[in-house]
Amino acid sequence: MHYTKEEINSMAAANTFGELPVSITKNENLENLLKLDLPEAIKDPVSNDDLYHRYFVKNAFWHKIPAFASITEEEFLDVKFQNKNTVRKVEKLIELVGEIAPGGFIDDVKEGMELAPMNLSISPYILSLIDWNDPYHDPLRIQFIPVNSRRVADHPKLTLDSLGEQGDSPVPGLVHRYFDKVLFLPLDVCPVYCRFCTRSYAIGGNTETVDKVKFTNAPQKWNDAFAYIASRPEIEDVVISGGDAYMLAPDRLRLIGNTLLDIPHVRRMRFATKGPAVMPMKILSDQKWTDALVEIVDKGRKMGKEVVLHTHFNSPNEISDITRRAMLHLFKKGITVRNQSVLIKGVNDTAEKMIHLIRKLSYMNVQPYYVYQHDMVSGTEDLRTSVGQTVELEKVIRGVTAGFNTPLFVTDAPGGGGKRDVHSYDYYDETTGISVYRSPSVDDSKLYIYFDPIDTLPASGQKLWEDESLHEELINNAIKSSGFTSLTPVL
């Protein structure tokens, strides 16, 4: 039998982290229902493990970082503490976790940084959630801290701007690829830097190996983008990304929001930010920022326009009770929050992890919107999965929860084809790892090609890629097999 009184009570007691769950509060209606003869069950009983997504880390998890051992909750929730203690240099990493990281780890990071296309930036929140007994397998370490020992040689087709965004930019910092929607990039900084950033060509400052395109966080630089949007009547939808809207001062957030709302044909706006996943306390403690967001959303609603927040959780390990409270705050203010994840090996590439993530997000009223096939970005080969693995994962995921909380698994077609349902390829060869897509809404004369990571291919496939002189033939064969030889492949 399910949900007997005992089970509800034992659920309330059980929690791997030893904290109270948030979902079960006793009330009269529930008590009365449980007095009735409970109907016969037709499903196997559920275990607490099945409901694990309802538990949110509530303890002072940051105390395990020696330097934060006496930091109170109030201090930790202060966004100023988070910003001040953000790790941007290996020296700071040594200072904070040198004592608790395994021997050799820090040297591994130093070597990893030498070739990394992204700079280091980790919030104290994320740093404190990493399992420092085993950082190598930790899904947060994998996302934010490169280590040389896990490096995998890049597929020959990886690039820094794999989506070809610069080719679709009428003015710097604006991408107009689709008919009625644009991507506005008002700044090039974020509260953290993700190793796998699709905008490795621009975001987060120069590294030892990459000289970056700059998007300046300055209102006078944005006017060209605003003017372009105002001049194109078909644009109804503006994604404000970057970079990260978390890093915009409240008056700049307002300026962008108000300017775009005042353009009559703009009907929908989304502010994109990794913030809730990496520094959720800002929503609770940076009242000016949150108020500015709420103000724009409310103003939009009064004008009949939708303004929402798009965020970027990849792992349930990023989610704590602080996150739950922050998301609840936004929900109560009437703000729709949707999530876009990147599918990353070791982070969310198993059904168990992805289901946990999706259910946990849904539980906080954050709608899982997309899961992206990892872009073909230089320096990230160890993080990608094959299209075949992603399609299989999608099959398992669909149906585990409400359809509107089930993300669409998409490949952002390399070279600017835009987002494609990952299993909508016209041809896929699991041996060579080549998939071929069409994208009629973006350009019906082109073919777009994605390449699986070579180390996921069967031995016979890996062998084919060893000989560089065969590469062109492999690609041509895939195009022929797709049957779309009259279209122009984008390579």
Ligand X SMILES: *Cc1c(COP(=O)(O)O)cnc(C)c1O
Residues that bind ligand SF4 (CB under 6 A): 190, 193-194, 197, 199, 203-204, 242-244, 274, 312
Q: From CA 157, how far away is CA 160, in angstroms rounded?
A: 10
Q: Which of ligand X, ligand SF4, none does residue 193 bind (CB under 5 to 8 Å by kind)?
A: ligand SF4
Euclidean distance between CA atoms 64 and 15, whole angstroms: 19
- The torsion of the CA quartet 8, 9, 13, 15, rounded to 10 degrees, works out to -10
Residue 183 engages ligand X in binding (rule: CB under 6 A): yes
- Residue 235 binds: one of ligand SF4, ligand X, none (C-beta under 5 to 8 A by kind): none
Buried b or exposed e, range 412-451, using 16+ CB within 10 angstroms: bbbbbbbbbebbebbbbbeebbbbbbbbeebbeebbbbbb
**How far apart are CB 30 and ligand SF4 at their closest, in Å?**
41
**Residue in this structure with the two tokens 């080719």, named with its chain if needed:** 167
177 is a contact residue toward ligand X (CB under 6 A): yes
**Per-residue tokens: 97:** 């976790």
Q: Tell me the closest approach of the beta carbon of residue 425 to ligand X, in angstroms.
A: 18
244 binds, among ligand SF4, ligand X, none (CB under 5 to 8 A by kind): ligand SF4
Closer to ligand X by Cβ: residue 235 or 279: 235
Choice between 174 and 434, CB closer to ligand SF4: 174
Q: Specify the residue, 15 or 159, whose C-beta has the smaller distance to ligand SF4.
A: 159
Q: Which tokens go with 406? A: 């089930």
Q: How far is the CB of 185 from ligand SF4 (least distance, A)?
A: 9
DSSP structure string for 444-484? EEEEEEEE--GGGS-HHHHHHHH-GGGHHHHHHHHHHHHT-
Distance CA 223, CA 231 (A): 12
User: Could you give the CA distance from residue 462 to residue 445 in angstroms, rounded to a whole number?
Assistant: 31
**CB 221 within 8 Å of CB 252:** no
Q: Is the sign of the CA dihedral 164, 170, 173, 178 positive or negative?
A: negative
Residue number with CB closer to ligand X (169 or 320): 169
Bridge partners (DSSP) of residue 490 are 448
Compare residues 79 and 413 and give the one whose CB is closer to ligand X: 413
Using the rule CB under 6 A, which residue among 175, 293, 337, 343 binds ligand X? 175
Binding partner at 203 among ligand X, ligand SF4, none, C-beta below 5 to 8 Å by kind: ligand SF4
Which of 11, 263 has the CB closer to ligand X?
A: 263
- Contact between 146 and 114 under an 8 Å Cβ cutoff? The reply is no
Q: Which of 378, 453, 448 is nearest to 413 (CA)?
A: 448
Cβ distance to ligand SF4 smaller for residue 244 or 443: 244
By beta-carbon proximity to ligand X, the closer residue of 178 and 484 is 178
Token pair for residue 429?
């060869």
Question: Residue with structure tokens 């689709």?
Answer: 178
490 binds ligand X per the rule CB under 6 A? no
Nearer to ligand X, 108 or 244 (CB): 244
Please state the closest distance from residue 416 (CB atom) to ligand X, in A: 8
Report the partner that residue 177 touches, choosing among ligand SF4, ligand X, none (CB closer than 5 to 8 A by kind). ligand X
Q: Which does 197 bind (CB under 5 to 8 A by kind): ligand SF4, ligand X, none?
A: ligand SF4
Q: How far apart are CA 319 and CA 347, in angstroms?
A: 13
- Rounded to a whole number of angstroms, the CA Rg of the chain reads 23
Window contacting ligand X (CB under 6 A); options: 170-178, 222-230, 441-449, 481-489: 170-178
> By three-state DSSP, how is residue 201 classified?
coil
Q: Can you tell me which of 3, 52, 178, 484 binds ligand X, judged by CB under 6 A?
A: 178
Q: How far is the CB of 121 from ligand SF4 (least distance, A)?
A: 8
Which single residue brings its beta carbon nearest to ligand X? Answer: 183
Q: Which of 92, 151, 157, 181 binds ligand X (CB under 6 A)?
A: 181
Give yes or no for residue 338 binding ligand X (CB under 6 A): no
Contact 198, 159 (CB under 8 A): no
Among positions 282, 419, 438, 446, the unique one binding ligand X when judged by CB under 6 A? 419
Among 60, 94, 239, 255, binds ligand X (CB under 6 A): 239
Decide if residue 391 touches ligand X (CB under 6 A).
Answer: no
User: Which positions touch ligand X (CB under 6 A)?
Assistant: 175, 177-178, 181, 183, 239, 419
